[in-house]
Amino acid sequence: MKRLFVLLFFLPVFLSAQGGMWLPMHLEKQNEPEMKALGFNLEADDLYSVNQPSIKDAICQSSGGCTGEIISPDGLLLSNHHCGFEAIQSHSTLEHNYVEDGFWAMSREEELPSPGETAMFIVRMEDVTPLALQNVSATMSEQDRQSQIDKNLAEIRKNTKKEKWEEILIRPFYNGNQYFLFVTVTYTDVRLVGAPPSSIGKFGADTDNWVWPRHTGDFSLFRVYADKDNRPADYSPDNQPLRPRHFLPISLDGIEEGDFTLVYGFPGRTDEYLPAAAIEQTADVLDPAKVSIRDRALKVMDGFMRESADIKIAYIARFANIANAWKKWQGEMQGLKTYKALERKQAYEAEFTHRINQDPGLKIKYGNLLPRLNASYAEMKEYAFARDYYQETFLRNIQVMGLASALNRWIKTYEDGNLPAFAGRQSDLNERLTAYYKDYRPEVDKAVFAALTEQFAGNMKGEWGGTFVATEAAKRGGYAELADYIFSNSTLANPEKWKALAAGEAKELGAALSQDPALLLWRGVAERYEENVVPKLEDLQSSINLLQRQYMAAQMEVFREKRFFPDANGTLRVTYGQVKGYSPRDAVIYDYQTHLEGVMEKYIPGDYEFDVPQKLIDLYKAKDYGQYGTADGQLPVAFLGTNHTTGGNSGSPALDANGNLIGLNFDRVWEGTMSDLNYDPAICRNIMVDMRYVLFIIDKYAGASHLIKEMKIVKGKKKRRKRK
Ligand code: ARG
Ligand code: ASP
């Protein structure tokens, strides 16, 4: 009876109001009724509990910022192929090309230690707002406020009980209105166990990225190792597989439209509470600028990668990274326009203003807020543009410029006459650069340099660096000539030169680097940027931060009937919704599930994005799907849900109503990538690989059935929901 009441009363409201990335410790208070109305069969404390094992104990954040989950009592870790990609690539050579061919450890001995891969779990979390904001007053300057908070946080850290092997993280929430503390434990011995070939794990690559219908088997497997006491330890052959507090059972029961789903993971960043002015700037100024820079860099790289197998393998991860945000920004700026984000925000602001005008107290407190935010964003516009232009060109896309920036301080120690300090870091940096140069091809970087410096000079204000770059190019007779000059004379852009010098005397290395033409060019731009842009930029940013913090608090006070989730900030969150298709345009309706059949429809023999391995074709032809196929003889590949996810949620488990793993989150749909700024339940969908496809690939394709044996498979447990 009670349940029925909950259902009838809340359902209509809830179904229209989905979205949100909720704090696990507040689920019971904020979300449980809605979750149950949507079909969730467990309790909030099955997801998050401090005192007993709960589902959160199976969820971890990887060093790369993705999410992963434990799926066996022996520490088997599942995440995306694109999350494990660096590890897969690092073990690959032209002879053992795991990127191309996949990799499967057929025994524990064959698992590959992957230094740099880590897995961080949350032991518990706590609201520490009152202590964090102690002695902080509204009239303080931002600087004083921050230093008071830093003091408070240091105190909290000191007084928080934790085990030796645990760590403490404290993060601001709601734009700094609240603070939460996390006790974490991080395992550092993480080994590669399995990865499908790219033609499965990256099927459709960049063409299909951010797009539905999707047919990518985007998963990889690792194993977490611990010392004999089950505690974190660096790699040692004596380490043993982690014995987790919880691992996720996997359901093969399949899904239907409308089923409850929940995604548990570490979303990186959202900005759902910005004013309309900020949205407008992103859609009209910043996204277009960043996209146009990456357009050119990607075209150059693509040209080289199509010509050379060596360059392709060296640049494949870098290319995918740069292309990923590039494509997302395009979807975002389009989506913000098509789905009228600006108008929605404006209507919301009109209601906000209307409400505070009715209440003299609120009016005094918040009456100025929006006008001041708008004025700050108007002033910010050209500085934010300059910031993005500088960062994209000189830090992100021209590799040797990014390197110059990273080494600048170190080289300065030489110039300041501190030879011991300089020499002290030489071998460490040599080691890092040697690793970095493994995938560096100067001819590619040089062509990127020529294209991007020209674009920079054409778009950056003269005194902010534009004129300097144009003059340097004119001195050499053009941008290509400037590139020639720099790339033939720079040590940083020349791995052989670096190697020879780095093996020798610090004095000679320092002398060469301080004259390095790449460094000098970078400094010329950076100095102008630091002098003419940064001070004003920081000033404006700090007043925007202050105003945004107040605006956040104001929204929570003015719209009391609304629930506010804190913007994503890389901490553990729960988002839930339903399995659901969508309709992006008139007369276009997307189904919620794809199948192996669709892989075959996209198949282009020999193509670098749409090739399909022969073995998969054979299994398809024989319809040899084992226990993973559907009753009508299909093999599911991917599915859609209304879960509100973002970057960092990749690799997150998608759970069913009973807490069983049914999918592996890896992407969102193109029309909905604006969800970071403006989640719209009508159009925003997350994309998950169906676990039946993951297990099929492990079992039937790779023959790694020993891995299936260590998992807990659930089948035939699901109650079919009544269809409307
Ligand atoms: N778009 C997904 C995410 O943001 C997948 C990216 C990896 N795939 C790729 N082709 N770059 O991470
Ligand atoms: N693909 C993203 C990730 O790597 C997820 C997303 O942005 O939806 O985290």
Which of 69, 211, 324, 668 is the best mutation target for the ligand 2 pocket, counting ligand atoms within 8 Å of the beta carbon and taking the most? Answer: 668
Calculate ∠ Cα 144-150-151, nearest 5°: 90
Decide if 225 contacts 191 (C-beta within 8 A): yes
Interval 320-340 mean pLDDT: 96
**pLDDT value of residue 313:** 86
Burial of 212 from C-beta contacts in 10 A (0-12 / 13-18 / 19+): buried
CA of 324 to the centre of ligand 1 (A): 5
Tokens of 518: 């790449």
The bridge status of strand 166-173 relative to strand 250-251 is unpaired
Residue pair 613/61 in contact (Cβ under 8 Å)? The answer is no
Residue from 214, 332, 650 whose mutation best tests the ligand 1 pocket (most atoms within 8 A of CB): 650
Cβ of 265 below 6 Å from ligand 2: no
Measured in angstroms, how far is the CA atom of residue 667 from the centroid of ligand 1?
7
Give the pLDDT confidence score for residue 11 in this predicted structure. 45
> Is 326 exposed, middle or buried, given 0-12, 13-18 or 19+ CB atoms closer than 10 A?
buried
Q: What is the pLDDT of residues 624-680, one digit of tens each?
A: 999 999 999 999 999 999 999 999 999 999 999 999 999 999 999 999 999 999 999
Substitution candidate for ligand 1 out of 203, 667, 671, 673 with most atoms within 8 A of CB: 667
Please indicate, yes or no, whether the overall pTM of this predicted structure exceeds 0.85: yes
716 pLDDT band, cuts 50/70/90, is confident
Q: Give per-residue pLDDT as tens, 425-434.
A: 999 999 999 9
What are the E-state strand segments in 593-645?
Answer: 593-595, 636-641
Residue type, 86: E
Residue nearest to atom 1 of ligand 2 (CA): 667
Q: CATH code for 2-118+188-271+565-714?
A: 2.40.10.120
Is 210 touching ligand 1 by the criterion CB < 6 Å? Answer: yes
| Phi and psi at residue 259, to the nearest 5° | -60, 145
Q: Could you tell me which of 381, 375, 384, 368 has the C-alpha nearest to residue 550?
A: 368
Of ligand 2's listed atoms, the one at least distance from the Cα of 65 is 9
pLDDT tens digit sequence for 238-257: 999 999 999 999 999 999 99
Per-residue pLDDT tens digits for 57-87:
999 999 999 999 999 999 999 999 999 999 9
Location of structure tokens 């560096």:
440
- CB-count burial class (<10 Å; 0-12, 13-18, 19+) for 353: middle
Q: Which atom of ligand 2 is nearest to the CA of 80?
A: 4
Is residue 204 lining ligand 1, measured as CB closer than 6 Å?
no
Nearest to 149 by CA among 625, 465, 549, 685: 549
**374-427 tens-digit pLDDT:** 999 999 999 999 999 999 999 999 999 999 999 999 999 999 999 999 999 999
Question: For the chain, what are the domain ranges?
Answer: 2-118+188-271+565-714, 398-532
CA 241/CA 186 separation, integer angstroms: 14
Report whether the peptide linkage leading into residue 241 is cis, meaning its omega lies within 30 degrees of zero. Answer: no
Q: What is the pLDDT of residue 721?
A: 57
Q: How far apart are CA 412 and CA 421, in angstroms?
A: 10
Regarding the beta carbon of 191 and ligand 2, being less than 6 Å apart is answered: no
The pairing of strands 260-265 and 573-578 is antiparallel
CA of 586 to the centre of ligand 1 (A): 27
Distance from the CA of 222 to the center of ligand 1, in angstroms?
Answer: 19
Closest C-alpha among 83, 92, 36 to residue 63: 83
Distance CA 74, CA 488 (A): 52
How is 560-600 classified by DSSP, letter by letter?
Answer: TTS--PPPP-SS-EEEEEEB--EEEETTEEE-SEEEHHHHH
**Tens digit of pLDDT for each residue in 195-224?**
999 999 999 999 999 999 999 999 999 999
Above 90 in pLDDT, residue 718?
no
